[in-house]
Amino acid sequence: MFIRTALRGLITPLLLILGVAVITFLGVLGGDQVQTSLTEMLIRMVVVVGMWIFVGNSGVISFGHVGFMCIGGYAAAWATVDPNWKSIMLTGLPDFLQNGQYPFPYAVIGGAVLAAVVAIVLGAAIMRLSGIAASIATFAFLMIVNSVYSNWDSVTGGTSSIIGIPTVVGPWVAFAFAAGAILLAYAFKSSRFGLMLRATREDEVAAKASAINVFRVRLAAFVLSAGVVGVGGALWAHFLGVLTADSFYLSLSFITLSMLVVGGLGSLTGAVVGVVVVTIVVEVLRALEGGIALGKATLSLPPGSQEIGLGLVLALIMIFRPSGLTRGREFRLPWLQSRAGVVVSNTAPATGE
């Protein structure tokens, strides 16, 4: 009985992690090209799962999370890049960053912390707004981050990139972080804060009448969410080895939001499935753009097909399955399904839903 209960609580994240592990395992058997796409997908999974912590549970769309990825990525790069290079190119950095060089784990923590701190300040200002107004404010935040990081030459290198970031992130490192993000996100969903936040998503007025401080629960989720996305940025930096502010802008925001929406905002399973499905669609379209040989002829789609194709997939899903591929449900094993009474089991009905 106890084991069943414990398993039931963990079954969704464990199944998701298992699924992602299988994909990772198959992917690393492939060539360099496949491994690169795989790592990219796993890092995006960290980012999208991080976004889901806020967006999925609160129902407030955020266009600004890629901004937190940018903040996390740069913070991590400041920590790990060679001090000799920094002292020439990034003269505005504080002493401990300019002259020091720190190991990768510190960089990840730094990325998470800086993103979370910025989220506290931003969230304190905008989490009192209504949903739509808050969404627009997050978009303004994305633009501000982009313009600060593109122009603050002495700290970010401006439009010239930061280079020489140690490329320590491969498929398995990225997988480990994706698994961690999934566990954390599920723990949040199941927590007191997760429950209260989901209530505010369903009905904000009734949530207030139920003693819920809407501002506080939204802010808590926003900060946690930004921290996870900041980790995603740090991973991204240590995967590519190069950073430019413009890579954290509209097209990445579009892709990550599509991933959330395609899978279904309502569930963590949706976030994970969305990342995998959108990645496959994008990769197939990319391959077609590059051209594939059919006998003697080469078939290739015109450049730009990738974006158009993704847009079409998104539109079709919105039309035929507005709540996403998972319809907001979590992935479970039917025979472990809880019936009634999380606590009082003697009143369990014969048939549940």
The footprint of other proteins (CB under 8 A) covers 190-192, 195-196, 198-199, 202-203, 205-214, 266, 328, 338-344, 347-349, 352-353
**Between 65 and 201, CB nearer to other proteins:** 201
**Between 144 and 206, CB nearer to other proteins:** 206
| Long-range own/partner contacts, residues 20-23 (CB < 8 A, 24 or more apart) | 20/45, 20/175, 20/178, 20/179, 20/182, 20/272, 20/276, 21/175, 21/179, 23/276
CB of 264 to other proteins, least distance (A): 12
**Between 95 and 202, CB nearer to other proteins:** 202
**Between 298 and 345, CB nearer to other proteins:** 345
What's the angle, vertex CA 179, arms to CA 191 and CA 39, rounded to 5?
140
CB of 223 to other proteins, least distance (A): 19
DSSP secondary structure string for all residues of 210-235 = TT--HHHHHHHHHHHHHHHHHHHHHH
Nearest to 298 by CA among 309, 283, 311, 287: 287
CB of 63 to other proteins, least distance (A): 24
CB of 2 to other proteins, least distance (A): 14
**Between 192 and 296, CB nearer to other proteins:** 192
**Between 3 and 205, CB nearer to other proteins:** 205
CB of 207 to other proteins, least distance (A): 8
Nearest to 179 by CA among 303, 321, 24, 340: 24
* Cα distance between residue 223 and residue 54, in whole Å: 8
CB of 128 to other proteins, least distance (A): 11
* Cα distance between residue 327 and residue 267, in whole Å: 8
- Our measurement of the distance from residue 324's CA atom to the centroid of its chain's CA atoms, rounded to an integer in Å, reads 17
